[in-house]
Amino acid sequence: MGEPSREEYKIQSFDAETQQLLKTALKDPGAVDLEKVANVIVDHSLQDSVFSKEAGRMCYAIIQAESKQAGQSVFRRGLLNRLQQEYQAREQLRARSLQGWVCYVTFICNIFDYLRVNNMPMMALVNPVYDCLFRLAQPDSLSKEEEVDCLVLQLHRVGEQLEKMNGQRMDELFVLIRDGFLLPTSLSSLAQLLLLEIIEFRAAGWKTTPAAHKYYYSEVSD
C-alpha cells in the first residue's frame, strides 16, 4: 500500500507537466511516449543527486507496468540506449560537471541494482558499471572526496552483486583501491577512512562487523 506514495514522493522535484507524464507512465505506460520518459528520468538524474539514488525503483516500476500492459520493452530499450550514450561520453561529462558525473555513476548503479532479467542482474550493465567504478579509483578521482564517497557508496550497494558477476574485475578494482590508499597521494583523512572501511567491508564478506561499525561510524560522526 505504501508504494504509490513513495513513488509520488520521488517526483515532487519535477514540474507539474513532467509529474503528470511520469504518473501516467507508471499507471498507463501505453498512453505516453516512453522514450521521452526515459530521457526525462536520465536528464533529471544527472542534475539531482537525491533522485539519482532512487530513480531505479521508478524505472523498474515503469518496466513492469509496460511489460504487464503490452508485453513490450520500449522504455527499457530507451533507458539502456541513453545510459550507453552517457557512458560513452563519461570523460566529457566528468570534465564538464563533477556533480553530473557522480550522479551518473549513482544512477547506473541504481539501475543495475533494480533491473533484473530472469531474476539476475543485467549482464549488459556489468562492464559499464565496473568501468565507472574503475574511473573513480584512479588517483585523480581519489583526491576528490565526492568521487571517493560515490565509489564507496556504490560498492556498499552493488559490490557483492558485481563480484558474483565478475570476480576477477572486482579483484583488480580492489588492487587499485588499495594502491590508492597506500600510495602517498593527496587523499584527505576522510577519504582514507572511507577506502579503508570498504577494503575491510569486502574482506568481511561484504558485511560490516560490529567492531568496524563502531570504529568507522564514530570516526565519521566525530
Q: Report the pLDDT value the prediction gives residue 220, as an integer from 0 to 100.
A: 54
Residue whose entry in the numeric block shows the C-alpha cell 577519504: 191
> Residue 203: pLDDT above 90?
yes
pLDDT at 75 over 70: yes
| Residue 35 clears pLDDT 90, i.e. is over it | yes
Q: 66: number of CA atoms within 13 Å, CB side?
A: 24
* pLDDT given for residue 216 in this prediction: 64
CATH topology of domain 123-217: 1.25.40
Which residues have CB under 8 Å from 75's CB, separation 6+? 25, 29, 34, 35, 37, 38, 59, 62, 63, 66
Indicate the Cα dihedral angle 201, 206, 50, 56, nearest 10°. 160
For the chain, the domains span: 15-117, 123-217
Q: Supply the mean pLDDT for the chain.
A: 90
Instruction: Answer yes or no: CATH 1.25.40.180 is held by domain 15-117.
Output: yes
Read off the pLDDT of residues 79-135 as tens digits, 9 standing for 90 and up. Answer: 999 999 999 999 999 999 999 999 999 999 999 999 988 788 899 999 999 999 999
Using pLDDT thresholds of 50, 70 and 90, give the confidence band for residue 22: very high
Place of cell 515503469: 62
Domains 15-117 and 123-217 share a fold: yes
Give me 133's grid cell: 567504478
Q: Which helix (H) or strand (E) holds 209?
A: none
**pLDDT tens-digit readout, 142-181:** 999 999 999 999 999 999 999 999 999 999 999 999 999 8
Would you say residue 221 has pLDDT above 90?
no
Of 5-9, 183-187, 213-217, 218-222, least confident by mean pLDDT is 5-9
What pLDDT shows up at residue 4? Answer: 46
C-beta atoms surrounding 199 within 10 Å:
16
C-alpha distances in angstroms, 23 versus 18, 50, 103, 174?
9, 19, 23, 41
**Who has greater pLDDT, 212 or 32?**
32
Question: How high is the pLDDT of residue 118?
Answer: 79
- Given a cut of 50, whether residue 2 has pLDDT beyond it is no
What is the reported pLDDT for 62?
Answer: 95
pLDDT at 31 over 80: yes
Structure-derived torsion over alpha carbons of residues 18, 58, 208, 166, reported in degrees to the nearest 10: -110
Q: Give the pLDDT score at 3.
A: 45
Instruction: Indicate whether 218 pLDDT > 80.
Output: no
For residues 158 and 71, the model is more confident at 158
